[in-house]
Amino acid sequence: MGSSDLVPREVFGSHVLTIHSYTLTRGVIYGDFINAGTFAAAGHDWPILYYPNGDFSKKTDWISLYLKLHRPTTHGAAAGAVKARFRFSLLGVDGRPARGYSKGSDDGAGYKVFVPMTTKQGFRKFIRRDALAWKSGCLLHDCFSVRCDITVLNVTYKHRVQRVAPAAAAPERFVVMPPSSVDRDLGGLLASGKGADVVFEVAGETFAVHRNILATRSLVFMEELFGPTKDMATGRVHVHDMAVRRPWYSLERLKLICEDNLCNYIETSTVGTILTLAEQHGCYGLRKACLQFLMSGNNLKAAIQTGGFDHLTNSCPSVLKELLSKLTIG
C-alpha cells in the first residue's frame, strides 16, 4: 500500500517599479503597452506590462497594469503553469502604499494561474489618470512608483510505499440492498397532503401538514402538539407575524433560509430595515452582509438620504456606532 503527502508552501517576493517621465509615456497609442522590465521574485521571473492609456481599443482615462510569467529561470523553477497571488500598490512620496490605490488578485478569486509567456494577469482599470495626477498625491516631478507584491504557491509531494498484508476478501453477498427511500416517501407525503391533520394559516394562505412529522422537526411543536397544554389541539394554527414566530417555533433552518434570501434584497432603500431585523433576531450572516454593503462606496450616504435609516438609529444605535467606527478605522 502506498501513501503520499501534499505539502503546500508559499514563497513571497516584492518589486518596486518607478516610472519616470510619465507625461512622455502617455504618447503611446491606446491599447499598446510598454514592457516595464522583468524582475525576479519567488523563484520566477516576472515582466510587468504598463499601459499608459489603458488596455482598451478606444480612448479611456485609465492606466492598466499586468503581470506575466517569463520562461523558467535557471535556478530550479518548473516549466509548467504557476499559481500565484499578487497585488499592485501605488506608492506615496513616503514610499508606503497610498490608501485606496491598491488592487490585488486576492480581492476576488485569490490565486491566479500563470502560463509562461502566455497568460497575463492584472487590472485594466488600475487607476484613472486624473486620479493619479490630481487626487492621489503620488505623482511627483512627473514620476510615480508602483510596488508589486507576489506570493507563489509551491506544492511538493512525498510518496511512501508500505508493505501490508492483503486484506481479507469481503464475504459474498447474495442479496442486493437498494438505498433507503424514506426521504422520497416523506417528500411525496408532504406534496400530496394525504393524512394531514394540522392546518397553518399565514397571511390568508393555508398549509396542510402532519403533526407527527412537525413535532419531530421542532421541540416547540412537540410540546405544543403533544405536551400537557396542547395549545394546537384544534388542528388550525393562525400565524400573525412570521418574523416573530420563527424563533419561537425553533425552526433554525427556516430562519437561515429566510436570512439567505434577504441578502438578495439589500439595497440603499432597504438596508436600514433589514439590518435592524438582523440585529434584533440574531441573524449574524445577514448583519455582516448589510455592514459590508454600507461600507462599500457611497452606499452609506445614499442609504441615509432615503430616510430608511431612522428606524435603525432609534432601535439599534449601537449598530450605527459600530458602523461609523469601522468606517473611521478603515
Same domain, 215 and 135: no
Q: What are phi and psi of 41, to 5 degrees?
A: -160, 145
Same domain, 126 and 195: no
186 falls within a domain: no
Same domain, 302 and 213: no
Same domain, 232 and 311: no
Same domain, 138 and 49: yes
Number of independent structural domains in the chain: 3
- CATH label of the domain that carries residue 238: 3.30.710.10
Is residue 246 scored above 70 in pLDDT?
Answer: no
Is residue 96 scored above 60 in pLDDT?
Answer: yes
294 falls within a domain: yes
Output b/e per residue, 159-181; b: 16+ Cβ within 10 A: eeeeeeeeeeeeeeeeeeeeeee
173 falls within a domain: no
Write out the H or E segment, with its range, that includes residue 190: helix 182-192
The residue that leads in pLDDT, 137 or 2, is 137
Same domain, 265 and 221: no
Residue with cell 397544554: 229
Long-range contacts, 324-330 (Cβ 8 Å, 24+): 326/291, 326/295, 327/295, 327/300, 330/295
Average pLDDT, the chain: 82
Same domain, 138 and 282: no
Q: What is the pLDDT of residue 77?
A: 46
Q: Which of 144, 159, 174 is the last residue of a domain?
A: 159
305 falls within a domain: yes
167 falls within a domain: no
Same domain, 210 and 238: yes
Q: What is the pLDDT of residue 76?
A: 44
Q: What is the pLDDT of residue 50?
A: 96
What residue numbers bound the domain in which 26 lies? 2-159
Q: Is the dihedral of CA 110, 268, 320, 280 positive or negative?
A: negative
- CATH label of the domain that carries residue 296: 1.25.40
Q: What is the pLDDT of residue 49?
A: 95
Same domain, 152 and 63: yes
Tens-digit pLDDT profile for residues 25-79:
999 998 899 999 899 988 899 999 999 999 988 888 999 999 999 876 544 444 5
Q: What is the pLDDT of residue 329?
A: 57
303 falls within a domain: yes
Q: What is the pLDDT of residue 17?
A: 95
Is residue 249 scored above 70 in pLDDT?
Answer: no
Same domain, 224 and 261: no
Q: How does residue 108 score in pLDDT terms, banded at 50, 70 and 90?
A: low
Same domain, 90 and 208: no
- CATH label of the domain that carries residue 43: 2.60.210.10
Write out the H or E segment, with its range, that includes residue 293: helix 284-294
Q: What is the pTM of this model?
A: 0.47
Q: DSSP E strands: which ranges in the chain?
A: 2-19, 34-41, 44-51, 62-68, 82-91, 97-104, 112-114, 120-128, 144-161, 198-202, 205-209, 236-239
Same domain, 89 and 115: yes
